[in-house]
Structure 1
């Protein structure tokens, strides 16, 4: 019998549940770090997001832990957090800057058709942070301030304008990331590092079709045992756990943000029938999809 790891070992936050937020938007938020750091005590424990985060440190000290790697917080450093990455904060002090949270759906609100501004904006080549100079930081602060003003005013077509500013920010991030040298990371040429990147990419692409580590191992031309050893050592969880977390993350998102029936969501996620999906979901979340949806709705009411 397969032993099921409970997904509730780690908190999964949406934009709405991360910290208190009075905006009408559920797929985007921006906060000054000065305000964010007053409410982030619950985020010191390792946790997950179902959204992207751009964290702009004009100044500050502390440690940001991303996928079990420690990165120092310092002036003129900008972090980019991907969907499903495990991260936490240690001793964040004197923070000044902005944190911008947004979903894939919000980023794709405007499609440009330009291959350099892809809808799938995060890939394995994007580094967890970049360092910039003070002049460039001034430009970032101006962009963040423009976004914040639109976010607060909620004038006509403000979401579209924010989306355009977001794309400008990601272009600026990509422009800088390739020249950064990261502390605490292994050289990209290291086979195990590349393997983890490829595995994570495959999970995001194939989690609806592939439910077992052996399917990913076959695609990567390695054994299931070797994949599990590398993933466990690098990320702290088994390959199976990473796959299951991604499936349940998507299930939670669909239950919270769509009107699809539970049966339809099961089909969307590759399950043959509703009972199989119910059993899978309850095994890791300890409640049925229907109860999870009801609880989520009650929390929002």
Structure 2
């Protein structure tokens, strides 16, 4: 096994239990669970599928990549494969959707999933609060749940189409919130989103600003100016944020030593990784692991 192949990021893969080979599942959350039924969801975990949680009624919190978000009525959460999260289904009712990228994409390019602003991002929030007057989203979810329980002709196609509609509808609602923050042209917003996607797929092997500027056919200076104006961050900040997000996930979801995590993240110097982590989080990697796992 070559060095490049063995340096893959480790992700805990979990199956979608009821998908019948579809790569898709929608469950109703009813709050009435025994502990052993939901124990795995109470502690930080990752999986290899996309996950959407719609809380129709409830309280409590949803921890996503170590950030605490209130899980109240009509809140929606978006989890990208590999993201670390934990929540208590006993404190809420609503719907949970799990789907594999292959189910959504079918014949679409892999980049299609990146069109949605709430997946594969370190800049935007994984949470969305929608109005309780919005009847369309819960109605769409209920229709999807009913269809999922059927064994009829066209079930897969209907569910895939419904998922597309849901993602577009939620993107529009998400965009209404994000547009309030916009201070730059739409073209530059798209460039920043494209940069995020490039970083998400290349951050382990490529951390040079010039690599990403070349991919976007811009000079490093021009791209940095766009990013700074639109986000208040530098490109290096974005790269480091993605690296640290992965480091946190690995610290909480593997038994790898700090040295092993440092190596898998392509740091030639463990001490530098240690300094970077502490400067950005105020914790050593070991201290972060101990503190957060004790919380859960």
TM-score, normalised to structure 2, is 0.57
- Structure 1 pair 22–141 and aligned structure 2 pair: CA distance change class (3 A): same
Is residue 2:116 matched to residue 1:122?
yes
| d(CA) in 1 for partners of 2:182, 2:41 | 29
In the other structure, the counterpart of 2:244 is 237
Deviation (angstroms), 1:14? 3.2
In the other structure, the counterpart of 1:27 is 23
Is residue 2:172 matched to residue 1:165?
no
Give 1:73-222 correspondences, 5 Å limit.
73-89=71-87, 91=88, 93-109=90-106, 118-123=112-117, 124=121, 127-136=125-134, 138-180=135-177, 200-205=196-201, 207=202, 212-215=205-208, 218-219=211-212, 221=220
How many residue pairs get aligned? The number is 217
In the other structure, the counterpart of 1:43 is 41
Is residue 2:57 matched to residue 1:64?
no
Hey, which of these two has a bigger chunk of strand by percent? Answer: 1
Contact 1:202 1:216 in 2 (8 A): no
In the other structure, the counterpart of 2:255 is none
Contact 2:65 2:245 in 1 (8 A): no
Choose between structure 1 and 2 for higher RCO, CA contacts under 8 A separated by at least 6 residues: 2
Contact 2:31 2:91 in 1 (8 A): no
In the other structure, the counterpart of 2:254 is none
**Structure 2, unaligned runs of 5 or more:** 184-191, 214-219, 222-233, 251-262, 265-296
**Structure 1, unaligned runs of 5 or more:** 182-186, 190-195, 246-282, 285-301
CA displacement 1:115-148 (0-9 Å, x = unmatched): xx94544344864222222231x32222112111
Deviation (angstroms), 1:33? 1.6
- Secondary structure of 1:55's counterpart equals strand
- Structure 1 pair 25–150 and aligned structure 2 pair: CA distance change class (3 A): farther
| d(CA) in 2 for partners of 1:42, 1:139 | 31
Is residue 2:13 matched to residue 1:13?
yes
TM-score, normalised to structure 1, is 0.57
Two-structure CA RMSD over aligned residues (Å): 4.3
